[in-house]
Structure 1
Amino acid sequence: MLQSQKIARRQSEIRQNLAELAANDAPTEEQRSQMDALDGEYQANESRYRASLIAEDDERRDADRDLETREAGEWDKLIAQYEMRQAALHLDEGRQFDGATAEVVQELRQAGGYRGVPVPFAAFETRAGETTSATVPDPVATMPMIDRLFPQSVAGAMGAQMVNVTAGGIEYPVSTSQVTAGWASTEGGDVAGPTEFSTVDRPLAPDHTLGIQMRLTRKAMKQSAGIEAAIRRDMQGAMQVEIDKAVFQGSGSNGQPAGVVAQAADYGIDSTAVDAAASYGAFRKAVTEFMLANAATGPGSVRALIRPEIWDAMDDVIFDAGSGVTEYDRLAAKLGSVTQSHNALAAPSGSTPASKALLTTNAGGQSPIFVATWGAVDLIRDPYSDAQSGGLRLTGLVTMDVSISRAEQLRVLSGLQ
């Protein structure tokens, strides 16, 4: 029994005894002493009761945090034991799931409907013990589940927040009001009048579905060694390329989400036309505009996304001949990070080849980009297309969407030659 409950029960007994003693119109000296003792004990118990409630509240919070951590740890352990081979055999032969894989599949099916076999995003990571190249990182098991899917994704490097949605759509209300402060001009005078507080909703809806198809030969399905890692690597690679491309270059039509660079005007993102050779000065000017808009506190809080060709051009321009410092060295030293990608940004075009760059910042800890995925990967079988050879086709379906938070946290530079 909790200490507070024991004290509360004793307080009830004291009140009952005091009521019996108080009913006596002519109490004896012994009864008066007894009432004084009970009254003193009651007052002392009140302080003990409050202290017990505070202590027990802290214990409850610690227990809740421990429970949440324990549940997340147990789920991570189950995910780590998820076998892609069982998913393939279930689709091919109808074999029943067992072990940790069966528990994960059951949990995911209860959370949402799937036509095929649900595969958690975290199951695509490269796991400890698998043969990997020395240059391939081994993701840490304690990383967030959604980020763990694309540990090297450009979207993650640019500060995008990965959101997993169970069902339905979500929206983020973002303040757009320009509240101003004003001084009272005279003693007793009024200060600045009320300013309307307004917001804009950034919706994320399950309107865009990405599909990945794989062919498994009969021989591959009969071989246990390496098939799980191969399936994960194939699906992870295809998904990473397409999702990164959609986040930044999505056309907003033909089933694609609206990319933050390609559809910058629709999002209200400012675009600066450089129309000159890429230089540190061009990026410095854009970072200054970030700071003037209260979106960044300094260049160290700004991330840049550029094409490899821009790096090649800037790294070839020596700023200080004596030290060998290049224009790119100055950029990398000042900004928080510089990410290069030939997939997230369109290739240079024009008579004088020029490309775009993107600058982002996490203002007030808020991510500039939202990338939402719905549920897990829905793995569906097609046993007929390759029936003659005994093969199997698998289709992985992923539902996702892209949106931004504040347009002031992003800026596009165009015409970088």
Structure 2
Amino acid sequence: MLTSKKLEIRRSEIRENLSELAGIEKPSTDEIRKIGELDTEYRAKETQYRAALISEEEERKKAGAEIESRQETEWRNMVDDFELRQVVMSLDEGSAINGATKEIIDEMRASGGYQGMPVPYAVLETRAGETVASDQINPKAIRPTIDRIFPNSVAARLGIQRIGIARGDLSFPVATAGAVFGWADGELANVGAASKYETSERSLSPDNTGGAQMILSRKSLKQSGEGLEQSVRRDLNSVIGTELDRVVVSGTGADGQPLGTIPGAVTYGIDSTAIGAAATWAAFRTEVVAFMEANAISSASQVNLALTPAIWSDLDEALISGTAVSEWDRLTKHVGTPAVSNVIPAASAIMAANVQGIAPGYLGLYGGVDLIRDPYTKAAQGSLVLTGLVTADYTVPRGLQTRILTGLTA
């Protein structure tokens, strides 16, 4: 038992004894002396109790972190045992779900908001080390374990952070004005006028819902084992991950889509520079300097960069006069290896930085994938149509952490 707990129990006993003695109408000399002793002991125990709380603070933090870590580990272990084929066969044939799969579904249902079968996003990962029987659907390559819905995507490479949200809005207060330093220009002079601390707010809301659909043929439904699970997982992971990646960069903010980085540049306060010339390291260096002057970074290596395959080709082809060094070599020497993807709009590039632990953007994913069964649309084929509903939103907390370049011509 912790020392603080023992002291707390003793203090409680002393208070009880004092309460009994205080109720005596005419206390004797011994009882008065006893009240004094208890009062002195209580004061001493009070001081000891405060000291014990201070000394045990670190121990409490470690214990709390251990409990939290244990809970996360237990959840991950359960997710590892989640069998997606149980969900599919239950939707198709009504077969019972059991084991870890049932526990996870029951726990997610307790949060509400699902019309079909809830599936954690982590289940869509293609796990390393899984084998497939030779007589089942056999993918040619098994990808390694991934820890996010967009593992190698542009969004992840830019430092965009994914947040799991159970329900409701999630707000990010962002400081826009605060303390001002000033010098006193005389012995009795003021150091300057106080400045009001102000914040603005960015929010993630469950207003944007999209769906991934797939058709499972009768043949695939009758094939058991890992093949069906891998196929469903791969398809859902690919289509959901690709679309989330796209809306983070280019979401229109209309037609049910979240507002992405480039279309939302004005809304989010992101600087967009029209270069109107061939891509060079000098053009990107100018933006790096702008980051530094805004106190967002102190080194070019802190910048994450994403650009199109065409821009990569131009940079790699452009050699510095009289050398075998390309503009691409100069760029990667300072900012590392940029993400090259056709998710980025033509002739454009995005630069982003993580500042003081704040990501340049946040992608909120609500709950898990809501897997809904439709046995009627393709009933004549004996096929099952599955729809995986995803609710997500995106926001940029501070525009100064991102810069956009456009008009990078060949």
8 Å Cα contact 2:128/2:142 also seen in 1: no
How far has the Cα of 1:56 moved from its partner? 4.8
Normalised to the residue count of structure 1, the TM-score between the two structures is 0.85
Where do 5+ consecutive residues of structure 2 fail to align? 132-138
Question: What is the match of residue 371 of structure 1?
Answer: 363
Question: What is the match of residue 136 of structure 1?
Answer: 143
Indicate which of 386, 389, 395 corresponds to 1:403.
395
Where do 5+ consecutive residues of structure 1 fail to align? 26-30, 32-36, 348-354
8 Å Cα contact 1:120/1:376 also seen in 2: yes
Q: Deviations along 1:286-311, whole A, 9 cap, x unmatched?
A: 11111111122121111111001111
How far has the Cα of 1:153 moved from its partner? 2.0
Question: What is the match of residue 303 of structure 1?
Answer: 304
Question: What is the match of residue 346 of structure 1?
Answer: 345
| Distance in 2 separating the partners of 1:412 and 1:46 | 60
Stretch deviating more after TM superposition (84-93 or 168-177): 168-177
8 Å Cα contact 1:112/1:167 also seen in 2: no
| Distance in 2 separating the partners of 1:244 and 1:6 | 55
Question: What is the match of residue 378 of structure 2?
Answer: 386
Local SS of the residue matching 1:176: strand
Stretch deviating more after TM superposition (65-74 or 38-47): 38-47
Local SS of the residue matching 2:193: coil
8 Å Cα contact 1:377/1:396 also seen in 2: yes
| Distance in 2 separating the partners of 1:74 and 1:409 | 36
Q: Tell me the amino acid that sits aligned with residue 123 of structure 1.
A: V
Q: Deviations along 1:116-163, whole A, 9 cap, x unmatched?
A: 000000001111322576783333xxx5xxxx2221121111011111
Q: Tell me the amino acid that sits aligned with residue 243 of structure 2.
A: E
8 Å Cα contact 1:160/1:368 also seen in 2: yes
Q: What are the within-5 Å matches in structure 2 for residues 4-403 of structure 1?
A: 4-6=4-6, 24=29, 52-54=52-54, 56-131=56-131, 136-139=143-146, 143=147, 148-177=148-177, 179-225=179-225, 226-319=227-320, 321-322=322-323, 324-343=324-343, 345-347=344-346, 355-403=347-395
Local SS of the residue matching 2:356: helix
How far has the Cα of 1:262 moved from its partner? 2.4
Local SS of the residue matching 2:348: strand
How far has the Cα of 1:9 moved from its partner? 6.0
How far has the Cα of 1:62 moved from its partner? 2.7
8 Å Cα contact 1:302/1:337 also seen in 2: no
Q: Deviations along 1:104-126, whole A, 9 cap, x unmatched?
A: 00010011220000000000111
8 Å Cα contact 2:150/2:245 also seen in 1: no
Q: Deviations along 1:61-101, whole A, 9 cap, x unmatched?
A: 33222211111111001111111101111111111210000
Q: Tell me the amino acid that sits aligned with residue 332 of structure 1.
A: T
Stretch deviating more after TM superposition (222-231 or 73-82): 222-231
How far has the Cα of 1:48 moved from its partner? 6.2
Normalised to the residue count of structure 2, the TM-score between the two structures is 0.86
Local SS of the residue matching 1:163: strand
Local SS of the residue matching 1:297: coil
Question: What is the match of residue 34 of structure 1?
Answer: none
Q: Would the alpha carbon gap of residues 378 and 48 (structure 1) be closer, same or farther in structure 2, given more than 3 Å must change? A: same
8 Å Cα contact 2:269/2:398 also seen in 1: no
How far has the Cα of 1:190 moved from its partner? 1.8
Local SS of the residue matching 2:164: strand
How far has the Cα of 1:268 moved from its partner? 2.0
| Distance in 1 separating the partners of 2:191 and 2:63 | 49
| Distance in 2 separating the partners of 1:54 and 1:154 | 46
Give me the CA root mean square deviation.
3.1
The number of equivalent residue pairs is: 394
8 Å Cα contact 1:112/1:166 also seen in 2: no
